[in-house]
Amino acid sequence: MAQESGTDGCPGQVGDEGVTYPWDVFRQLLTPRWVGMIAGLLVVVAACVWLGLWQLGVARDSGRQEAVAAASTQRRAPLQQVTAAHSDFRPELSNRPVTVTGTYAAERSLLVVDRRLGGRVGSWVVTPLVTDGGTVPVLRGFVEGTPSAVPAPPVGVVTVSGTLGPGESPRPGTPLPAPQVRSIDLAVLVNEWPGDLYNAVVLASAETAGPTAGADVAQPGLTRVPPPPLDAPLNLRNAAYAVQWWVFGIFAIWMWWKMFRAEQQAEDPVAAPRDAPREGATT
C-alpha cells in the first residue's frame, strides 16, 4: 500500500500544503531553556541593530553636521567670546559667525596654491590678524592663478566679519617658494608666527577699516571664499561596518531557527524530511 502523507495531530507532519507545525511544537519555546535562548537572541539582535545605526551615524557624521548647522544660525559674536588662543577646535565652532578686530601682519601673508572656486583654479590669500587675544589666520579670499605677490591687506586697525573653520592637514609635495604653501597647517604656523595662535581660521566675508563693522574694503580680483557646505560625504568604510552588523543580526536569527528546527527533528522523527517513495514501491 502506498505511504500516506501523514498522521493527524503529529507535529511536523508532511501534508499536501507542506510541512505544518502545530501548537505543541511551538509550546516548547515557553520552556526555561528556550525562553533564555530567545532573550539572548533579542539582546544580540538589538545590539547588532544599535551598532549598525551607530556606525551609520559615524558614516554620515550626523553629529558634526547638526553641530555645524546649529552654529551657522547663531548670532555673530566677537572671536574672543567664542574661543581662545590655543584652545581646541570643537565641531560646534565650524561655520560659527564671528567678528575680530586687529592689525594685519602683511609681511607674513601666504598663498595657498592649487585651490578651486566656481570652476576656477587659483590660490587662497591668508594673512595673520594680530589681536589682543592672539593671532588668527584670516582667509581673505581667492585669486586666480598664482600671483607673484600676495594682494596687500588693509592697513591699520581692521574689523573682519566671517565664519570659523578648522585648520588643514599637511599636503605632500615638493617644497614651494615663499610665500606659497599647500595648506593652512596650523601646527606649522604656530612655530612660524610669533605670539599666541588661535586654533581656527576665519573665512572673511567682509573687512572694514576701523574698529567697527562697516562697508567691505575688499580689493578688486579678490573673491570671498564661502563657508564649506554642511553636507559631509558618506564614509563608505563605516557604512560597510553598519551593514556588517546588520548581517550579523540576521545570521543570529537564522542560527537560532536552525537550532530550533534541529532539536524538533531530533525529538520527532516524523518531522524529519523523508525521501520521496520510488515509483512502484509499496509498504
CA 169 – CA 175 distance, rounded (Å):
16
Strand 201-209 relative to strand 134-144: parallel, antiparallel, unpaired?
parallel
Tell which wins on pLDDT, 257 or 265: 257
pLDDT digits (tens, 9 = 90+) for 247-263: 888 988 888 888 877 87
Which of 44-53, 229-238, 270-279 holds the top average pLDDT? 44-53
Mean pLDDT to the nearest integer, 60-75 = 62
Mean pLDDT to the nearest integer, 198-214 = 87
**Host H or E run for residue 180:** strand 180-181
Instruction: Provide the residue ranges of all domains of the chain, joining segments of one domain with +.
Output: 14-59+236-271, 78-209
**Structural contact between residues 64 and 94, judged by C-beta atoms closer than 8 angstroms:** yes
CA 187 – CA 126 distance, rounded (Å):
15
Count other C-beta atoms under 10 Å from residue 174's C-beta.
Answer: 5
Bridge partners of residue 98, in order along the sequence: 77, 162
| Cell numbers standing for residue 268 | 520527532
Per-residue confidence (pLDDT) for residue 68, from 0 to 100: 56
| Cell numbers standing for residue 276 | 520521496
Strand 120-131 relative to strand 110-117: parallel, antiparallel, unpaired?
antiparallel
CA 147 – CA 106 distance, rounded (Å):
15
CA 102 – CA 184 distance, rounded (Å):
20
Per-residue confidence (pLDDT) for residue 5, from 0 to 100: 44
Please tell me the least confidently modeled range out of 13-27, 82-96, 175-189. 13-27
pTM of the model: 0.60
Mean pLDDT to the nearest integer, 51-78 = 70
- Check pLDDT > 80 for residue 169: yes
Residue that has been written with the C-alpha cell 546649529 in this structure? 70
- Banded model confidence at residue 117, pLDDT cuts 50, 70, 90: very high
Strand 97-104 relative to strand 77-78: parallel, antiparallel, unpaired?
parallel
CA distances from 31 to 2, 37, 252, 261 (A): 38, 10, 20, 15
Per-residue confidence (pLDDT) for residue 37, from 0 to 100: 82
Mean pLDDT to the nearest integer, 13-31 = 58
Per-residue confidence (pLDDT) for residue 153, from 0 to 100: 92
pLDDT digits (tens, 9 = 90+) for 102-111: 999 999 999 9
Mean pLDDT to the nearest integer, 122-132 = 96
Half-sphere exposure (CA, 13 Å, Cβ side) for 105?
Answer: 14
Please say whether the dihedral angle defined by the alpha carbons of residues 199, 204, 206 and 209, taken in this order, is positive or negative: positive
- Check pLDDT > 80 for residue 20: no
3-state secondary structure labels for all residues of 30-94: HCHHHHHHHHHHHHHHHHHHHHHHHHHHHHHCHHHHHHHHHHHCCCCEEHHHHCCECCCCCHHHC
- Banded model confidence at residue 6, pLDDT cuts 50, 70, 90: very low
**Host H or E run for residue 254:** helix 236-267
**CATH (residue range 78-209):** 2.40.50
